[in-house]
Structure 1
């Protein structure tokens, strides 16, 4: 590690150390419905370095959520995501903000996240709307997975894709397979160590095939292939009789 890199790492450490005590004050201001999480994305599998409050059930040493994975995937293009509303797998309605942390070079290395459990407020709003006759049907909220284990977060993302595709890997054509890997990459799945192996195992394909599909998906995103080109080198890397 060069002197410059050492200096940037020290700067990042200093930012994390300075923010760690701040999260307690933020959580105390909003009360028991608030959770504040400090993430260090340099270790995505254990990105939670400090937490105040308990809304998502995570602890120090826990993994980033799907939102964090998406931010890591966007790299320098990542931006703050403020006042978004999601639903947890357990049915809680959360109003959240994720503010990215950058070093002096502009690189994103972490995030400060605030999660407010507004489930009760949302239910009260629905009841009041029904009583006054001006209520609207609640909009379907996106579901966000939070967990201490990064593998479980990746598994949920894969399950979500499977439900939407409604087809097994063997039933997908080449375009659909590449789209699956492109979507997983866009959601930050492959920013996590061992995720390629995990995805390969879930899909029942070889690791080499998974890397090949990922490489081609990224290349296709940068420069879409000629649809008249009959070559399909990906399928030649599959090593399990069409189920790779």
Structure 2
């Protein structure tokens, strides 16, 4: 018990030490940059410090689906650097997510940087057209950033569902729950109830499909052997 309390105090101290850096990073790179400090011990209000307004995050806001993915990987999570994504409003971002670990190596948070490169992308496309270069780059994935964890979960459910629940066969239903689980949705408190409501099924059915999806994943990861 004392050891866990010491680790909690250590995590708090790390977050407190990093908080001033958030303002410094955003001030250095200007209005196109946003720095966000997350405490993954509380996913529904993980933002403990933020500077810049690229995604509209505020202190006390929820983690994004990128944070959920990191949370799902647990202590196996690694830094994700210089990936490109797009907000649901169309803003093109170049982002980095750097995980925070305590002295035991446990992941408990992240420092995230989001840079609005929309204008740069437009200039790049214009110069490419002027130079006669054909072909558009691959469209980056859309990511939901929100201060409300419910909106993030809803967006993930909708992104993984291409038919109504009644139109999905059993394999597709299991694949839906497997995909949501892999993205860290069920690490969020009350997410199972929200997913069930979004799909129009009972909470018991949602728990059953999640258990079956996880059992199938475990079997596959062990090469099909019990």
| TM-score interval for Structure 1 and Structure 2 normalised by the shorter chain | over 0.9
Give the Å deviation of 1:175: 1.3
Partner SS state of residue 153, structure 2: helix
Q: Is the 8 A contact 1:62 1:147 kept in 2?
A: yes
Greater CA drift, 23-32 or 6-15:
23-32
**Distance in 2 separating the partners of 1:34 and 1:81:** 17
**1:77-92 correspondence runs (5 A):** 77-92=76-91
Matched, 1:220 2:216: yes
The structure with more radius of gyration: 1
Aligned-residue Cα RMSD (Å) equals 0.9
Give the Å deviation of 1:135: 5.1
Give the Å deviation of 1:58: 1.0
**Distance in 1 separating the partners of 2:7 and 2:182:** 27
**1:15-164 correspondence runs (5 A):** 15-134=14-133, 136-162=135-161
Partner SS state of residue 84, structure 1: strand
Q: Is the 8 A contact 1:126 1:135 kept in 2?
A: no
**Distance in 1 separating the partners of 2:37 and 2:167:** 41
**Distance in 2 separating the partners of 1:82 and 1:187:** 18
TM-score under structure 1 length normalisation: 0.88
The aligned residue for residue 181 of structure 1 is 177
The count of corresponding residues between Structure 1 and Structure 2 is 220
TM-score under structure 2 length normalisation: 0.95
The aligned residue for residue 205 of structure 2 is 209
Residues 103-146 of structure 1 show CA distances to partners (whole Å, capped at 9, x for unaligned) of 11111100000000000011011101111112531321100110
The aligned residue for residue 223 of structure 2 is none
Matched, 1:194 2:193: no
Residues 6-65 of structure 1 show CA distances to partners (whole Å, capped at 9, x for unaligned) of 010000000000000011111111111000000000000000000011100110011100
The aligned residue for residue 224 of structure 2 is none
Q: Which runs of 5+ in 2 are unaligned?
A: 221-226
**Distance in 2 separating the partners of 1:177 and 1:125:** 41
